């Protein structure tokens, strides 16, 4: 199975242009991929000025421009594709990602852990941490800052995820290295697709760190993009490698967990 990331630098608010560019890069550089992950909020950019502005970019899924773009691209490439976008549902707005399969069926995950001012723009996600089926395997969806909460990757792995698909707009420096631990402690693959460039709006400035990557269940970085610029990284993997949960020959990743000592884990 071939999995990969597409890293690029969207221009804020230019949805049509950004999608057009993503499609062009994917057609030129990602042929033959089975699972391609694109960044968080890739069609619109990140730095909204208000909830009203964010709502104005919200789109239905299915039924919006990102769904139409994804459906066509997934069919053309014969691949499953994951992208982050602003999802409108009635008066609610989510920082969501969708996985589109080549047959036109799709799954949506809504970001559970909102970062910084995302708390002003979006509603908290309400989709459970349950893997979705695609390309004959189980894929766990999480978005950017969700990485900071190790329970997300753990619950997805307990649910059977072999690959974490992780659209991102990373600004803090820690995630690329930390995802190696998420992979190691859960014995899963992860594809993090980050963006690059910066946005300056309303007197504020955000710079995004790139370094999109594919990591293996042993924590090894199998591909990593530079901090700047467009990059596509594709790696051949065997998802069955994520079924081997015993790093020593005497341990059982599931049975050895001391859940009898975990009392406070679910305290509010
Ligand atoms: C982030 O969650 N976009 C940092």
33-52: pLDDT as tens digits: 999 999 999 999 999 999 99
Domain 2-266: which CATH class?
Answer: alpha beta
Please state the atom number of ligand 1 nearest to the C-alpha of residue 146.
2
Where are the domains positioned within the chain? 2-266
To test the ligand 1 pocket, which listed residue (115, 120, 147, 212) has its Cβ within 8 A of the most ligand atoms? 115
78, two tokens: 């014969």
Residues framing ligand 1 (Cβ under 6 A): 40, 115, 144-145, 169-171
Over its C-alpha atoms, the chain yields an Rg (Å, rounded) of: 18
pTM for the model stands at 0.98
- Check whether 234 has a pLDDT greater than 90: yes
Q: How far is the CA of 50 from the centre of ligand 1 (A)?
A: 17
- Which pLDDT tens digit goes with each residue over 214-233? 999 999 999 999 999 999 99
Q: Cα–Cα distance between 31 and 24 in angstroms, integer?
A: 11
Angle, to 10 degrees, between the axis of helix 65-77 and the axis of helix 15-29?
A: 10
pLDDT per position as a tens digit, 95-133? 999 999 999 999 999 999 999 999 999 999 999 999 999
């Amino acid at each position: 199975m071939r999995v990969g990331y597409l890293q690029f630098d969207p221009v804020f608010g230019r949805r049509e242009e950004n999608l057009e560019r993503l499609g062009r890069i994917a057609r030129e550089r990602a042929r033959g991929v089975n699972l391609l992950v694109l960044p968080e909020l890739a069609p619109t950019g990140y730095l909204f000025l208000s909830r009203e502005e964010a709502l104005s970019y919200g789109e239905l899924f299915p039924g919006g421009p990102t769904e139409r773009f994804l459906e066509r691209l997934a069919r053309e490439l014969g691949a499953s594709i994951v992208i982050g976008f602003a999802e409108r549902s009635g008066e609610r707005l989510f920082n969501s990602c969708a996985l589109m399969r080549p047959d036109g069926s799709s799954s949506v995950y809504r970001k559970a852990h909102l970062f910084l001012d995302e708390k002003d723009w979006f509603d908290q996600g309400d989709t459970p941490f349950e893997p979705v089926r695609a390309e004959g395997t189980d894929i766990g969806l999480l978005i950017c800052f969700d990485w900071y909460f190790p329970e997300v990757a753990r619950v997805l792995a307990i649910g059977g995820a072999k690959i974490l698909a992780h659209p991102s707009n990373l600004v803090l420096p820690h995630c690329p290295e930390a995802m190696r631990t998420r992979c190691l402690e859960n014995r899963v693959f992860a594809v993090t697709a980050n963006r690059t460039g910066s946005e300056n709006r309303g007197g504020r400035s955000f710079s995004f760190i790139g370094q999109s990557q594919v990591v293996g269940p042993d924590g090894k970085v199998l591909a990593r993009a530079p901090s700047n610029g467009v990059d596509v990284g594709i790696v051949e993997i065997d998802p069955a490698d994520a079924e081997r949960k015993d790093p020593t020959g005497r341990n059982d990743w599931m049975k050895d967990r001391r859940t009898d000592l975990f009392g406070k884990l679910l305290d509010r």
